[in-house]
Amino acid sequence: MRHDLHIVGEMNENFNVPEVLLLGGREIKELLSMGEALKAVEQSFRLQTNGKTIMPPKLYLDLPQYQGDFRAMPAYVDGAAGVKWVSVYPDNWRQSLPSIVATIILCDPSTGYPLAIMDATYITNIRTGAAGGVAVKYLARKDSTIIGFVGAGVQAKTQLLAIIEVLPQIKEVKVFDLDRDISQKYVDEMTAKLGINIHPVETIQDATEADIIVATTPSRKPVVRKQYIKPGTHINAIGADAKGKQELEADLLRSGKIIVDDIEQASHSGEINVPLSGGIIKIEDIYGTLGEVVASAKKGREDNEEITIFDSTGLAIEDVVCAKIVYEKAKKRGVSTFEFL
List active site positions.
Answer: 84
Beta strands 68-77 and 53-54: pairing type?
Answer: antiparallel
Cβ atoms of residues 309 and 286 within 8 Å: no
- Residues 79 and 57: their CA atoms lie apart, in Å, by 20
Side-chain half-sphere exposure of 37, counting CA atoms within 13 A: 28
Residues near 94 by beta carbon (within 8 Å), at least 6 away in sequence? none
* Residue 190 CA, distance from chain mean position: 19
Contact between 211 and 147 (Cβ < 8 Å): yes
Cβ partners under 8 Å of residue 89, min gap 6: 66, 67, 68, 97, 99, 101
Return d(Cα 77, Cα 119) in angstroms, integer.
19
Q: To the nearest 10°, report the CA torsion of 142, 146, 151, 156.
A: 60
- Using DSSP's 3-state secondary structure scheme, residue 214 falls into strand
Pairing of strands 114-119, 20-23: parallel
Instruction: Label residue 110 exposed, middle or buried (CB < 10 Å: 0-12, 13-18, 19+).
Output: exposed
Cα dihedral 296, 300, 304, 305 in deg (nearest 10): 140
State how beta strands 59-63 and 286-289 pair.
Answer: unpaired
How far apart are the C-alpha atoms of 70 and 87, rounded to whole Å?
4
- Rounded to the nearest 10°, the torsion over CA 166, 42, 88, 91 is 0
Minimal CA–CA distance to 33: which of 336, 330, 326, 331?
Answer: 326
Q: In angstroms, rounded to a whole number, what is the distance separating the alpha carbons of residues 214 and 171?
A: 16
